[in-house]
Amino acid sequence: MAIRKPTVPKIYELHAVLDGIEPPVWRRVLVPANIKLPKLHDLLQLVMGWTDSHLHSFRFGEHVYTAASEDMEELQMLDEKRVTLESALGRLRRFDYDYDFGDSWHHRITVTEVADPKDWPYPLCIGGARAAPPEDVGGVPGYFEFLHALLNPRHKEHERMLEWVGGAFDPESFDLNAVNKYLRYGRL
Flag whether 119 is in a domain: yes
First to last CA, the chain: 37
Count up the domains in the chain and report the number: 2
Flag whether 3 is in a domain: no
The structure's pTM equals 0.91
| 89 and 147 assigned to the same domain | no
Residue 51 one-letter amino acid: T
| 140 and 83 assigned to the same domain | no
| 159 and 96 assigned to the same domain | no
Distance separating alpha carbons of residues 79 and 77, to the nearest angstrom: 7
Q: Which residues contact 15 (CB under 8 A, 6 or more apart)?
A: 26, 27, 28, 109, 110, 112
Flag whether 88 is in a domain: yes
Q: Which residues contact 34 (CB under 8 A, 6 or more apart)?
A: 9, 10, 84, 85, 86
Helix (H) or strand (E) segment spanning residue 60: strand 56-60
Flag whether 17 is in a domain: yes
- pLDDT on residue 1: 59
Local confidence pLDDT in tens for the 188 residues of the chain:
566 555 768 999 999 999 999 999 999 999 999 999 999 999 999 999 999 999 999 999 999 999 967 666 566 789 999 999 999 999 999 999 999 999 999 999 999 999 999 988 899 999 999 999 999 999 999 999 999 999 999 999 999 999 999 999 999 999 999 999 999 887 66
| 165 and 117 assigned to the same domain | no
| 47 and 34 assigned to the same domain | yes
Residue 63 contacts residue 14 (beta carbons within 8 Å): no
| 109 and 124 assigned to the same domain | yes
| 15 and 61 assigned to the same domain | yes
| 109 and 69 assigned to the same domain | yes
| 52 and 39 assigned to the same domain | yes
Residue 60 contacts residue 89 (beta carbons within 8 Å): yes
The CA angle 44-47-48, to the nearest 5 degrees, is: 80
Distance separating alpha carbons of residues 164 and 160, to the nearest angstrom: 6
Domain, as residue range, for 153: 132-170
Flag whether 2 is in a domain: no
Which value, in Å, is the radius of gyration of the alpha carbons in the chain? 18
Helix (H) or strand (E) segment spanning residue 179: helix 176-185
- pLDDT on residue 41: 97
